[in-house]
Copies of this chain bind each other. A is one copy, B any other.
């Protein structure tokens, strides 16, 4: 009988453990700590996805847009695309002996970042042009993929595609499972992001909106190619984000996710539509596990958009408090 009771208790414990496991497995956002931020997401998604609810939105209109730098992956100490550009210039230097005496390339070759940065935007644009143009779109795609396979982040030693936020990967998956179509809307170069967005985020190329340069169609050996020119076609940042959304997507999102003042207009445009709306800002508050920065930062400055988020009741996520995990396990 005693044995029987023990067995019964033992069985009960196993059943309870199994239930707890099931509950954990059923949480679509396990890397999000319970709290107001997480609840605002799950409440919104449940309300728009449930037919018969007042906030129901037909699947075709469930458009969610995500900034990339600082929202889906890290952006410190410098934007990863700019790190790619610097690495590319160094790799190309042997083919350009003239760079040794040419600003701003001479500073990069000498490893003098201070002198390079003194050149300001002009130097940055020169490096972007040298690394991103004068080649075909197919060549560029291969160069970016090669870099992503081999380059490592200077602080963490991770691959850049491993510097993505685990809670945001879960969020992308979660909203898609609820009938959302997920888009990147980012100031980053559209072709740079497309080189990894599908594999890393499950976002196909046709759902990536970004900045772009002009292209030139030409025939090489009777085969058409598209050559990347050093002229800007479209800048998908600040005011450019709602414009990019209108031009590329043609439908106002019902949910938008950003982290900086560059996302403010996208969040405003999203929030101003009729029906249920959701706007979220990732606040970088975790100096230990990631970085802590906002109003005074050169990269990913969060100032006016933060004030507006507070005033309008948008969700502000504190990475330190709301995220149980920051980065996914390395492979």
Whether A206 lies near B246 (C-beta < 8 A) is no
Chain B residues whose C-beta falls within 8 Å of the C-beta of A137 in the assembled complex: 246
Whether B233 lies near A191 (C-beta < 8 A) is no
Binary flags per residue of A235-255, CB closer than 8 Å to B gives 1, else 0: 000010011001111110000
A265 at the interface (CB under 8 A from B): yes
Chain B residues whose C-beta falls within 8 Å of the C-beta of A44 in the assembled complex: none
Whether B181 lies near A250 (C-beta < 8 A) is no
Total chain A interface residues with beta-carbon distance under 8 A:
36
A179 at the interface (CB under 8 A from B): no
Q: A224-B268, A224-B269, A265-B224 are in contact. Are A247 and B217 (CB under 8 A)?
A: no
Q: Which 6 A-B pairs have the closest CB atoms?
A: A205-B250, A217-B239, A215-B243, A206-B249, A194-B250, A205-B251
User: Which of A's residues lie within 8 Å of B, judged by CB?
Assistant: 60, 63, 137, 181, 183, 190-191, 194, 198, 204-208, 212, 215-217, 223-224, 226, 233-234, 239, 242-243, 246-251, 265, 268-269, 272
Residue of B nearest to A238 (CB): B217
Residue of B nearest to A193 (CB): B250
Chain B residues whose C-beta falls within 8 Å of the C-beta of A242 in the assembled complex: 217, 224, 226
